[in-house]
Homo-oligomer: A and B are copies of this chain.
Amino acid sequence: MKDFEKLLRDNNLKVTKGRIAILELLYSSKIPMNTEEIFNYVDKDELPSFTSLYRILNQLSEAGILEKNLYQNGLLYYELKGKKHRHYIICSKCGKISPIEHCPISEFVEEASIETGYVVEDHVVELIGICPNCQKS
C-alpha cells in the first residue's frame, strides 16, 4: 500500500497537503507526468503554487522518492521510484506517452561499464515516434 506520511517522515520531510496530493497523483498515474500536468491534475484546494510544486518535486527527487527525467521535448517528467522498471515512447506530435514493458538494457549497462570504466548510476531510454492517433491525421 501507500503510506506516504511515513515515507515523508522517514525522509525528514514534513507532511503537508501538497506533498501528499502530489505523491497520490503520481502513485495513481501509470506514466510519468511533467510539471504542468501535475499542477493541473492536483486538486485546487491542495494545490501548492507552481513555486512549491517545483520545490517539492526536487526534494522528493533528491530524497530518492521520485525519478526525474528530462525528455527530448525539454520538459521534466516525474514518476514514483520503485515501481517496476519501465521505459516509454513519446509521440513527437501530441506528446502522448506510452509505457514499454521490455527493458533490454541491463546487460548493455554492464557491458558499457566494462568498456568505458564508468560506474553506471542511471540510464535513460527514450523512444520518439508517432502515436496511433496522430498517424491517422
Contact = CB atoms under 8 A, between A and B. Distances in A.
Interface of A: 69-72, 74, 87, 89, 91-92, 98, 100-102, 104-105, 107-109, 111-113, 115-132, 135
Contacts of A132: 117-118
A61 to B, nearest CB: 12
Identical subunits present: 2
Which of A115, A121, A124, A127 is packed against the most chain B CB atoms within 10 Å? A127
A126 B124 CA distance: 5
B101 A115 contact: yes
Contacts of A105: 104, 125
Closest 7 CB pairs of A and B: A118-B129, A117-B132, A120-B129, A124-B126, A122-B128, A119-B130, A98-B116
Given A102-B112, A120-B89, A125 B125 contact: yes
Contacts of A71: 70
